[in-house]
Amino acid sequence: MDRTEPDNSELFDTLSKRNASFLGQFSHSDLTAPALEQVAFLTCMDSRVEPLRIFSYELGDVKVIRNAGARVTEDVLRSLILATNFLDVTSIVVMQHVDCALAFKSNDLVVSGLKVPVSPADETRDFLAMPDPDQALREDIALILECPLIPTEVVVLGIRYDVKTGGIVRVL
Ligand SMILES: [Zn+2]
């Protein structure tokens, strides 16, 4: 590696302290890997979006897959195939949100906003920006429905969470 790794000790110390209060009340050792509610959420990494809290779920209730924009990528399909084939998931919810940093933007705009120098090879890197979020959701759900390794009986729903009100609307 040709760059010095920043020291991560302080980060671990901070997390250890934050984990201490959870350890003090931990009572989840009986939970199993399959989700109790048989639902998998795909949502954005946005820190305002947290499916467990939004839908009053508890630890162990649902699967949550997150990435920037809640986009269906090859790796998301990998997780959904495993969740539906091995972990009892029978419903998939793709949940975009209002005020997403990738919404109503072109990929070029995202690339031009990067803080670091961008090499020619990276100028075409696809950040899966969403000039039209509804269209992106339609395409993402189609990728799930068309995936031959996800059982056909799995229910797929597309919704959008409003970070200003806490509510959801059905899109697909
Ligand atoms: Zn987002």
Question: Which residue ranges form the domains of the chain, and what is each CATH number?
Answer: 33-101+131-170 (3.40.1050.10)
Question: Residue-wise pLDDT tens for the chain (172 aa)?
Answer: 567 888 999 999 999 999 999 999 999 999 999 999 999 999 999 999 999 999 999 999 999 999 999 999 999 999 999 999 999 999 999 999 999 999 999 999 999 999 999 999 999 999 999 999 999 999 999 999 999 999 999 999 999 999 999 999 999 9
The C-alpha atoms of residue 118 and residue 30 are separated, in whole angstroms, by 48
Q: Which pLDDT value is given to residue 4? A: 81
pTM greater than 0.85: yes
Closest CA to 45 of 61, 69, 26: 69
The C-alpha atoms of residue 117 and residue 115 are separated, in whole angstroms, by 7
Closest CA to 93 of 157, 29, 35: 157
Cα-to-centroid distance, 63 and ligand 1 (Å): 18
Closest CA to 42 of 98, 103, 95, 99: 95
Cα-to-centroid distance, 62 and ligand 1 (Å): 20
Cα-to-centroid distance, 65 and ligand 1 (Å): 13
Cα-to-centroid distance, 134 and ligand 1 (Å): 14
Q: Which pLDDT value is given to residue 3? A: 73
- For residue 122, give the DSSP letter: G
Cα-to-centroid distance, 74 and ligand 1 (Å): 19
Q: Which pLDDT value is given to residue 2? A: 62
The C-alpha atoms of residue 16 and residue 148 are separated, in whole angstroms, by 42
Token pair 């839908």 in the structure block, residue: 55
Cα-to-centroid distance, 30 and ligand 1 (Å): 33
Cα-to-centroid distance, 48 and ligand 1 (Å): 9
Structure tokens belonging to residue 148: 């031959």
Around Cβ 103, how many Cβ atoms within 10 Å? 19
Cα-to-centroid distance, 100 and ligand 1 (Å): 4
* Vertex 142 angle, CA 46 and 156, to 5°: 70
Cα-to-centroid distance, 102 and ligand 1 (Å): 6
Kindly calculate the radius of gyration of the chain based on its CA atoms and give it in whole angstroms.
18
Q: Which pLDDT value is given to residue 1? A: 52
